[in-house]
Amino acid sequence: MADNASVTQDDAPDAKRMKSESLTSECRTDSIHSSLSDFSSFELQRVLNENAQRKTVFIQGSFKERKGQAIVILEKTPFDEKSIDGILSANSRLKRDFSNDIYGNYECYPEIQFNNIKATIIHPATEKHIQKYESQPVHIIDETPEFYHTLTLPHLQKEQFNLQWVTNIIEHKSEVERIVFEDTDPETGFILLPDLKWDAKQVENLYLVAIVRKTGISSLRSLTGDHLNLLKNLQAKGIKAIEDRYHIAGSQLRVYLHYQPSFYHLHVHFTNLQYEAPGIYPEKAHLLSTVISNIELMSDYYQKATLPFAVKESDNLFSVYEEKGLVKRRGELIYSA
């Protein structure tokens, strides 16, 4: 296939994999992350999106005396046994909202160490980052092999972005201290490390990503029978590494690939089955076990299959399909009585 492994949708520096390069020699000397310690210089512009279920908010703004836009993602971290013990103590204050018979609603104000919020900061943020996190109508496109070759792939090749951050991980220039497991085989090897959605403090919301060492495998569309050994090795060793490290059984893990992926170098997601992680729904997630089974049945399955994917109206790829009349914006639909 004519896939290009260097293609990405500019997701690399964001919450999908915003690297801790301030701790390495590879860090940009002008990075805001080398000195940022509070939000005193942050100027709020607008709320891009919020998710009440996941207790997450996406904010656009800027930092004084710093060029460029910034995105701040704030997320309430999950409870664990230690935090519960601290919250349910005499040091937490309760403010009653109301009570009725045996029921009472309160606001609880625990000590600061038990009231932490996970913050992800993207700076400088590109327009693509802003579009990614901005609330937008979403559509499902059924991508046939023909549509992939004539519409999707040319668009992705046109909008190429740097995957240096992937190279930095593979070559041990960044995030070495975060590696959970590594297989150094050049053909079937991979590096397993926490996704930045996970703070690695509790297994309830465990989320790791495995990045394959072999280049030239862009996405699910690239996979054939030649990659079965890689996929099976990744599945077996990735699950065992998590079982050994975090004591979660393989049957309690959700192991899957995204399509469309947010960056175009093959990677696989590992999440706790009980955790409703972003991107686990059928319009995006493909279980690794199913991918392996499909390829065993037909070596070129993913070159022949129609694959659905979700896309926002603000995404340039949506415009590509819109120009061909294959999808319409919500406001363009005409309803008849």
Name residues whose C-beta falls within 8 Å of residue 94's C-beta, 6 or more positions apart in sequence. 106, 107, 108, 109
Judge contact between 252 and 272, C-beta under 8 A. Answer: yes
Could you tell me which of 120, 143, 129, 111 has the C-alpha nearest to residue 72?
120
For tokens 């930045």, the residue is 196
Relative to beta strand 56-63, strand 69-76 is antiparallel
Q: Catalytic residue numbers?
A: 267
Alpha-carbon gap, residue 130 to 123, rounded angstroms: 11
Q: What are phi and psi of 161, to 5 degrees?
A: -135, 165
Alpha-carbon gap, residue 120 to 51, rounded angstroms: 15
Alpha-carbon gap, residue 85 to 104, rounded angstroms: 21
